[in-house]
Structure 1
Amino acid sequence: MRILNFMVFLFLINMASAQNYYGYLSDNYSGLHGVTLNPANLTGSKLRTEVNLASVNASVNNDYFYTDFGSLFEGSDIGDDQFNAAENNNFAISADIMGPSFMFNLSPKHSIGVITRARAFFNINEIKGELFDAFEDDFDSANDFSLNEDEFTSTLHGWAEIGVAYARTLINNEQHYLKGGVTLKYLRGLGNAYAKGTNLSVDYDADGFTPEVGTITTTGLIEYGSSQGISQNEDDSDFEFESDASGYGADIGFIYEWRPAPSDLDDESRSNYKLKLGVSITDIGSIDYEGAEANTYDITNSIDENTFESEEDFEDKLNNLYTRIATEDFTKVKLPTALHITADYNLDSQFFINLRSDLSLRKANELNTNKIDNAVVVTPRFERKWFSFYLP
């Protein structure tokens, strides 16, 4: 399946460079990466100038599979007890590549920057774990089972963006410092696909037509839409992204610093605050896909598992095995808009404690929209100009 292959592609990115920006984005020397969390970080930065050539961040989050550090390091086999097939399981895969970018201070109060990024998100929201098991295994089971699914949604979206960031100091007196910033983005869609299942029922008879071939009986509706912007070369070796989709987006943020006695703080760390509070909203906006199509299928049917497995592509399964009952155009794909609130407490100019809260402003069941995972992260931090250590 094209979509499944693309998911694997994202997963391999994560395995190749598995790192997370938690902790680092709140560092006073995070530079351009800190601007992606809050544009106000651009001005008053401890880096007067920065040039980024390339950096990669990726993550895979879920509440379906879990393990511990000991098992990872020991190379232990994965057991059935490490899978949590719940009533509503959720998956979120993301990849973020920052390309050539730069920032510099125009003056002590004004700073600008240009940031280029390529990003991809994949979400599965509120799917029954048993249904995910069945689809993942292509209904290759020796046991009968029946299950019902009220509703689940899934969205895959990739896009590139170029942003122009500006920030300035708004208030600067002896104890109080306030700055604000905004990043305006031009967005280029790389490809989009989404699916929504409603009132699904799946009944699997392992004996089926013959003892060796099971029968899959289904009812319900599946809505599936694709921009047709994600494809593979004939040799299946490379991905091609073809789309005329575009749009506009923005990030906006403010940061307040309390500086009760700046002269008493170690100047080496250049962190002349005792408490720093930040609030920002990122990924405001959407991308329009011209000519994208969404189809609704009635999946009421009873078929043998060999026939189901013979259709390798998810879209082929829908078109060849079930009944299309409606077709409509869709154009707009919303970005994963999120609210970020941070608090950074300076213990002694080298040691900090950071509290960061990330809250999705997109609902889990919002159609054809990606979302971040809600999170609250506490991070002790040791910070110097050329070296920092974080423990999120």
Structure 2
Amino acid sequence: MRSFPFYILWLFLSLPLANRAQIHQGFTYDNYGGVHNVVGNPANSVESKYKFHINAISYNKWNLSDFGAVDLLNIETKPNGFNGLDFKENKMNPTNQNNLTANSDVMLPSVIWGFHPKHAAGLIWRSRSFTDYQGFNGNLWTRLNGSDPIAEGVSGNSNFNNTVHQWDEVGLNYATVLLNSNYHFLKFGGTIKYLSGRGGVELRGNIDVDDAGELLTSPNSTDLLYVNTFSDTGNFQNNSEMSPFYSNAFGFKFKNFGVGGDVGLVYEWRPRETNRVGVRNSSSGVNTYKLRISAAILDLGTIAYGTKNNNIRKKEYTASDIPIATTSLEDFNTSLSAIPSGESNSTEQGSVSFGLPTALNIGLDYILFNDKNYYLNLNYLHGLTNNEDEYTNTRANLLTFTPRYETRDLSVYLPISYGVSSSSIHAGIGLRYKYITAGCAALNTFIEDKPLNHIYVGISLPILEEVFQ
């Protein structure tokens, strides 16, 4: 039996992996995913196969686009609405309505505890950064980044919306078994989250570009609404008050507060041929289902900014006659910042609330051979927010099919993902061996930047339920 000091030492030795560790796609469907399963569905903490599952550190980096790879570090260090759209070498499918989603998720020391056969609890600590660009003019941004010397293809109208939001959260999870009969099993769970916002940026409006490569004049002008809670100036170029996302990953600012949560259900069909729990077996220690169906609503909640004395400055710009043909992205930002805005359009606002990227997560898991360890999983993640929602991130809709081989010590899985917005298919690979997980949702991540870029690695301490009582 290992002593308690050993676990404390192990935990702190794991912390230096913070900037290299990553998780999620494909791994959250594994029955031995532990804490990470709870992120996808809060009901998974009960009968999780673990007495305790302690996450030391893990990090997930994700980018899905129908146009090109994003400079995620640039966005997370100095988000201003435009600087993430850097596609000098990755132009793929430029239109007037391109879309992009990118996020980082650092899971810090977290734990779930199966303290009773029908009850479990957990404490989950995460630091998150989420970015989406909806409806941007891919031709325009290719042009501004110096990739296209000709204005042809730039013209057109787009309803542009960019939201960048960074926050920390501590979630208290509870799950319970509602039904456990001979053939049917049902569990329910929820996670209530205390949210602390680092800051948010939103740039939205109508961008209209003519055939000459210039922003159109009134009445068909380019109108932009800009809110930046990192800075009190409202200018595109002023980012002096911002700090890199990673530098604060282990901190908690206790400045801008909110409450959020997840809620989920899991049903398992346990026919006689798979329900092999004997009188000496622990039902929490083995898999007994033929088919598992799960559904969860994730990331409910908002974070309020600008309350008390820290008011938000909101600016509305009407841009016209800005020549795109000879303007770089940096000059374009400077030109927008120099546009005068009326006094009535730059008043201090009492507060603004940024919403979390709420989503519906649905999954099917099927054991292929009753006496083997081969599973097929189908999962669909659907964003419940959209481009019209103010101050709210929007998730990319994603369908994932994952064959996997799974045992108590080892799991291997092969996620095949279809990005609905990007109309692209990606194949990945992942591995869990005791304390370590590693993999990615798109193997082409290691070859060249493509519509989906993702990689993860993580380290955890699993204390499994005993198979035999």
CA displacement at 1:173 relative to structure 2 = 1.1
Matched, 1:337 2:376: no
Paired residues for 1:27-176 under 5 Å: 27-65=30-68, 83-137=92-146, 142-145=149-152, 147-176=155-184
Is the deviation greater in 155-164 or in 299-308? 299-308
In 2, Cα distance between equivalents of 1:238 and 1:202: 40
In 2, Cα distance between equivalents of 1:386 and 1:365: 46
SS at match of 1:106: strand
Classify 1:388/1:235 alpha carbon distance in 2 versus 1 (closer, same or farther; 3 Å).
Answer: closer
Matched, 1:278 2:299: no
After superposition, give the CA deviation of every residue in 1:222-280 in whole Å (9 maximum; x if it has no partner): 11111026955799999679782110001000101111014448989821111111010
Partner of 2:456: none
Classify 1:161/1:80 alpha carbon distance in 2 versus 1 (closer, same or farther; 3 Å).
Answer: closer
SS at match of 2:338: helix
**Aligned equivalent of 1:327, options 323, 346, 349:** 346
In 1, Cα distance between equivalents of 2:266 and 2:191: 15
CA displacement at 1:388 relative to structure 2 = 0.7
Higher strand share: 1
Q: Is the 8 A contact 1:252 1:280 kept in 2?
A: yes
Partner of 1:388: 411
After superposition, give the CA deviation of every residue in 1:310-356 in whole Å (9 maximum; x if it has no partner): 758x3x53231454571352511010000011110012340000010
Q: CA RMSD in A?
A: 3.2
SS at match of 1:53: strand
CA displacement at 1:102 relative to structure 2 = 1.0
Q: Percent identity?
A: 29
Paired residues for 1:210-229 under 5 Å: 219-228=221-230
Q: Is the 8 A contact 2:52 2:114 kept in 1?
A: yes
Classify 1:376/1:223 alpha carbon distance in 2 versus 1 (closer, same or farther; 3 Å).
Answer: same
Matched, 1:359 2:378: no
After superposition, give the CA deviation of every residue in 1:151-195 in whole Å (9 maximum; x if it has no partner): 110100000000000001111111111100000000000110010
If the length of structure 1 is used for normalisation, what is the TM-score? 0.80
In 1, Cα distance between equivalents of 2:364 and 2:126: 26
Classify 1:234/1:36 alpha carbon distance in 2 versus 1 (closer, same or farther; 3 Å).
Answer: closer
CA displacement at 1:148 relative to structure 2 = 2.3
**Aligned equivalent of 2:367, options 338, 346, 349:** 346
Structure 2 unaligned blocks of 5 or more: 1-18, 70-86, 232-237, 416-469
In 2, Cα distance between equivalents of 1:343 and 1:309: 45
In 1, Cα distance between equivalents of 2:113 and 2:90: 52
- The higher relative CO (CA closer than 8 Å, separation ≥ 6) is in 2
Is the deviation greater in 114-123 or in 344-353? 344-353
In 2, Cα distance between equivalents of 1:32 and 1:333: 26
Q: Which amino acid aligns with 1:301?
A: D
Matched, 1:376 2:399: yes
In 2, Cα distance between equivalents of 1:87 and 1:43: 47
SS at match of 1:28: coil
Is the deviation greater in 361-370 or in 111-120? 361-370
Partner of 1:187: 195
Structure 1 unaligned blocks of 5 or more: 1-15, 67-77, 206-214
In 1, Cα distance between equivalents of 2:68 and 2:330: 28
In 1, Cα distance between equivalents of 2:330 and 2:124: 45
After superposition, give the CA deviation of every residue in 1:270-323 in whole Å (9 maximum; x if it has no partner): 2111111101000000000012222110102346977876758x3x53231454
CA displacement at 1:128 relative to structure 2 = 2.2
Classify 1:311/1:385 alpha carbon distance in 2 versus 1 (closer, same or farther; 3 Å).
Answer: same
Classify 1:350/1:319 alpha carbon distance in 2 versus 1 (closer, same or farther; 3 Å).
Answer: same
In 2, Cα distance between equivalents of 1:169 and 1:147: 57
In 1, Cα distance between equivalents of 2:230 and 2:181: 55
SS at match of 1:131: helix
After superposition, give the CA deviation of every residue in 1:114-148 in whole Å (9 maximum; x if it has no partner): 000000111000112112213333xx754344512
Classify 1:302/1:257 alpha carbon distance in 2 versus 1 (closer, same or farther; 3 Å).
Answer: closer
Paired residues for 1:199-218 under 5 Å: 199-202=207-210, 204=212
Classify 1:370/1:306 alpha carbon distance in 2 versus 1 (closer, same or farther; 3 Å).
Answer: same
CA displacement at 1:367 relative to structure 2 = 2.1
SS at match of 2:142: helix
